[in-house]
Chain A
Amino acid sequence: MIYGALAMPICAAVLTLTAATRSSVKQINMLGGLSTSFILFGLVYSVQAGGILAAPPLYVDSLSCLLLVVIAVLNLTAFLFSASYMEKELHEGPGSLGALKRYYVLLNTFAFTMISVLVVENLGLMWVCVEATTLASALLVAFHFNRAGIEAAWKYVMVCTVGICLALFGTILLYYAQVSAGPGAGEALSWLALRDISSRLDPGMLKLAFACIIVGYGTKVGLAPMHTWLPDAHSQAPSPVSGLLSGALLSCALYVVMRNLVIVKGAVGAEFIQPMLMGLGLFSVMVAVPFLLVQHDIKRLLAYSSVEHMGMITLALGIGTPLAVYGALFHIFNHAVAKSALFYLAGHLSQEYRTRHILRIRGVVANMPFGGAAFVLFALAITGVPPFGVFASKFMIAWAAFAGGYKLAGAVLLTLLAAVFAGMVYYCFQMAFSKPAGPVHQGKLGKPAMAAVLLSAAIVITSGLYLPEPFKLVLEQAAAVISGG
């Protein structure tokens, strides 16, 4: 099953290379995306039914399952949306088939690397996979090879690779601590082995290692002040890729942080980790707010909102109570679904208006009733308006902050969230309900894209009102993996 999930994107990529026409490329990849997600759901189901799957070096438990659900949903919507989006992006002509193939091969590789982050057990291999996600997505960010795209991709690779090198340094220190722990330390850098012997590891060394790891992987998560690559890369990538970057990639990076967190927590206790995570998280929210309030670019607006949400999740992980961890995991899921859909729609808008400038996008609802309505819906959802799922998880995090005794952090968080709400809703309503500046030709969303948006909307609305029992179980067990239960 795991091998199937890993093999499917590769198969789709190979088939794409052999395809002869644009429509066949499109069909292969819609089918490929569908079956990858289907296999992922099957994998999650089999883990829930039959317990943890361990086939070294692969390992899938509930925590990986939760993230696999995120990837499965986003992979599906991204491939569906790509089918419509790329049709408009690449006009018929010489070279367009090649470009389309390049896009889909890279997209499949990107999906493959993200899935592999989630299914490997070894922390060293996890590092290798995280670095591979950067490399696979870098050429997608620079897909059009225009000036801005190249600039964004260059900064993306440079900042993330240097950051992640620091994480490798931290991982090497972790290995050193494991070796120094003496005989019976288990296989090198194995997460399970490290978790079991975490109380025997040298605390001083682990503190140093964790500082390196949190700054290193934190770069990839987009925590301030290492977030500088994020708005550039998110705004320049083709929109389905932006959605994946924001919803899936950042979540994968967080997943690796969580895996390391479990070990460090076991060795040095929560007192050391807490201020670090809470500080970084709160600082990220703080840094994102001014950029959200004065923003001209619709995709950069969404990108800074991602920084804010990642900050919030990190804050919740820092609080560390069961409720906070549960809220953090639930928020990862909600944010991923809502934000990716917003990125897709923003891509649709900027295609129709031929600009990403917020002030030049006018009267969206009047011009395109379906796309506009969906855009307003998701904008409200992501800023935390009930009854959507994002509200539920934000509420949990805020509640956990107060219940955990961090009244100041909670109060600051709520104030900042109010500012974010004001900024984002102001800009989005301006785009949606202002008078159309001129006739824009009726922008119609293609059928696959519409399906993707409707699916995301259904998920965001349901998760706010009612959680299906199996999903709730996954969330609870995943939280237990982190809290150590």
Chain B
Amino acid sequence: MNLLIILLMFTAFWLTRTTDLRNAVTVFLVQSAMVAAACLVVGAETGETHFFLAALLTLVIKAVLIPYALYRIVGRLRREREEESLLSPNYSSLAAAFAVVLAYGFIDRALPGVISRDALAAAMSLILIGLQIIIIRHQAVLQIVGLSTLENGLYLVSLSVTKGLPLIIEFGILLDVLIAVVVLVILTYRLKISWLSTDTSLLQKLKG
């Protein structure tokens, strides 16, 4: 479990450094697979079958279907890459490190003495880093990856705090995440058609 947590943090940091769309999707795929693995580990510890089902669902939706949809759209977006982010990769990694400190601080103050302190802190960092990616990256696909990272973080929170939510709710959430990505991919595709770019910093027409 500890190894998984370290690796997960590593993928999150990697996401803050990558500006290539295809790489970002690959990193996200690896990250989702690790979240599914974490679910399996919890399942092996408690010996409940419900975790194996949840892990399988996570794997299918987050590590297969969502990356597949993203790879497809990235294939159509040649010559799109992140330029002129709000922060350079170095600074955004620094911000991510700050997010980790923040996460530990938050956990220790809000939930002192919780059993799975490290897992929870990692989950919180994933949430904060996902949010950070949405804020500082302008490329539509990177924002989608950021959003999905955020969702992965939330999933880890539920896994580490309450050993997951009831299966039907988890299934509903996963379905929502999948549909959200599909809707966003459709919008990205349309962005490319009507704005000739998927840089969301162009979206500034509607004001006031």
Contact = CB atoms under 8 A, between A and B. Distances in A.
Interface stretch (A128-136, A253-261, A412-420, A441-449): A128-136
Contacts of B176: 128, 131-132, 135
B126 to A, nearest CB: 12
Q: Which of A131, A146, A294 has the most CB of B within 10 A?
A: A131
A176 interface: yes
Nearest to A155: B203
Interface in A204-233: 205, 208, 231-232
Interface stretch (A28-36, A156-164, A313-321): A156-164
A232 B203 CA distance: 11
Nearest to B203: A151
Contact of A147 (B131, B158, B168, B195): B195
Interface in A400-422: none
Interface in A123-144: 124-125, 127-128, 131-132, 134-135, 138-139, 142
Contact of A125 (B143, B162, B168, B187): B168
A124 B169 contact: yes
Contacts of B193: 145
A161 B205 CA distance: 21
Contacts of B172: 124-125, 128
B150 interface: yes
A148 interface: yes
B180 A135 contact: yes
B205 A148 contact: yes
Interface stretch (A75-83, A165-173, A332-340, A454-462): A165-173
Nearest to B169: A124
Given A135-B183, A146-B194, A147-B194, A152 B166 contact: no
Nearest to A164: B176
A179 B134 CA distance: 33
A124 B165 CA distance: 8
Contacts of B187: 138, 142, 150, 153-154, 157
Interface in A183-211: 188-189, 205, 208
B153 to A, nearest CB: 9
Question: Interface size bucket, B side?
Answer: 35 or more
Given A145-B194, A162-B131, A162-B150, A300 B208 contact: yes
Contact of A165 (B154, B168, B184, B191): B154
A84 interface: no
Nearest to A142: B187
B142 interface: no
Interface string B78-112: 00000000000000000000000000000000110
A128 B161 contact: no
A272 B102 CA distance: 25
Contact of A138 (B154, B183, B191, B195): B183
Interface of A is mostly: helix
Contacts, number: 112
Given A128-B173, A138-B183, A153-B187, A172 B157 contact: yes
A291 B207 CA distance: 10
B72 interface: no
Given A128-B176, A131-B180, A295 B208 contact: yes
A188 B194 contact: no
Nearest to A291: B208
A208 B110 contact: yes
B44 interface: no
Contact of B154 (A148, A150, A169, A294): A169
A231 B207 CA distance: 9
Given A128-B169, A154-B200, A162-B134, A145 B162 contact: no
A152 B162 CA distance: 37
Given A165-B151, A165-B154, A152 B179 contact: no
Contacts of B190: 142, 145, 150
B186 interface: yes
A463 interface: no
A139 B186 contact: yes
B158 A172 contact: yes
A235 interface: yes
A168 B162 contact: no
Contacts of A103: none
B154 A168 contact: yes
Contacts of A208: 110
Interface in B120-158: 127, 131, 134, 140, 143, 147, 150-151, 154, 157-158
Interface in B18-66: none
A189 B154 contact: no
16 contacts: A124-B166, A124-B172, A128-B175, A139-B186, A145-B193, A148-B206, A150-B187, A157-B183, A158-B147, A162-B134, A162-B150, A169-B157, A172-B157, A188-B165, A235-B206, A295-B208
Interface of A: 57, 122, 124-125, 127-128, 131-132, 134-135, 138-139, 142, 145-148, 150-155, 157-158, 161-162, 165, 168-169, 172-173, 175-176, 179, 188-189, 205, 208, 231-232, 235-236, 291, 294-296, 300
Interface of B: 110-111, 127, 131, 134, 140, 143, 147, 150-151, 154, 157-158, 161-162, 165-166, 168-169, 172-173, 175-176, 179-180, 183-184, 186-187, 190-191, 193-195, 200, 203, 205-206, 208
Given A139-B183, A153-B187, A172-B154, 17 more contacts: A57-B168, A124-B172, A125-B168, A127-B169, A128-B175, A128-B176, A131-B176, A154-B140, A154-B200, A155-B206, A162-B147, A165-B151, A172-B162, A175-B162, A208-B110, A231-B206, A296-B208
